[in-house]
Amino acid sequence: MTELRIALPKGRLFEESMELFVKKGIIPQPFEEGRRLSLKVNGYEFLLVKPSDVPVYVENGVADVGVVGKDVLLEKKPDLYTLLDLGIGFCRVVVAGKEEGREKYLKSSYLKVATKYPNIASQFFSEKGIKCKIIPLSGSVELAPLIGLSDFIVDLVQTGRTLKENNLVVLEEITTSTAMLVCNRASYRNLREEVLGLVFRLGKP
């Protein structure tokens, strides 16, 4: 049997993925998110990569399947099969800002928005007919409205604690996100048995 290569996201989704894979009997016990970026467990090869890179690995065929948040899929729009909603890693993609900015947010037709999700943000605002200037950042997005880099942010919210600690509030929800199991077009056919086997094990209640 050929070994299935699975790209897993480091960080936020990693632990929940581990829990799920153990619960469904795919691996015997969770492994640590350490320095090793590739390991073989139970007939699978796992690649531990940056969450937004998961679709890149899978799309190019170096990984057969991967675990990736809907937020990343919406942002990058990769050409992949989205086989299963894994139901883990629930979070929301929201517009947030300072409470005193709420009126401006509702009335203004020009907004400055800092975000890690330039595509999601610009699509969301252009559909509403709001002109916005996107300020692309790759981290610490919550800082932007505090120091006047932007009026608002579009970001992922899980518990809302980071927002609260920075005195920011959710102004509008854009979408919700959970993790999906994705697969590329070739592996779906070339490794049919292996891919479907994984889908059934992960999908069974």
Residues lying near another protein in the complex (CB under 8 A): 58-62, 79-85, 122-123, 126, 183-190, 192, 196, 199, 203
Nearest distance from C-beta of residue 152 to another protein, angstroms: 18
**Cα three-residue angle 28-31-34, rounded to 5 degrees:** 170
For another protein, the closer CB: 105 or 188: 188
Query: Shortest approach of another protein to residue 192 CB, angstroms?
Result: 6
* Closer residue to another protein in complex, CB, 66/101: 66
Q: Least distance to another protein from the beta carbon of 52, Å?
A: 17
φ and ψ of 39, to 5 deg = -145, 150
Shorter beta-carbon distance to another protein: residue 3 or 85? 85
Structure tokens at 34: 């350490």
For the CB of residue 162, give the shortest distance to another protein in the complex, in Å.
Answer: 28
Minimum distance, C-beta of residue 204 to another protein, in the bound complex (Å): 11
Whichever of 33 and 85 has its CB closer to another protein, that residue is 85
- Cβ-based burial of 8 (10 A; exposed 0-12, middle 13-18, buried ≥19): buried
CA angle 101, 102, 105 (to 5 degrees): 85
For another protein, give the closer residue by CB, 80 or 168: 80
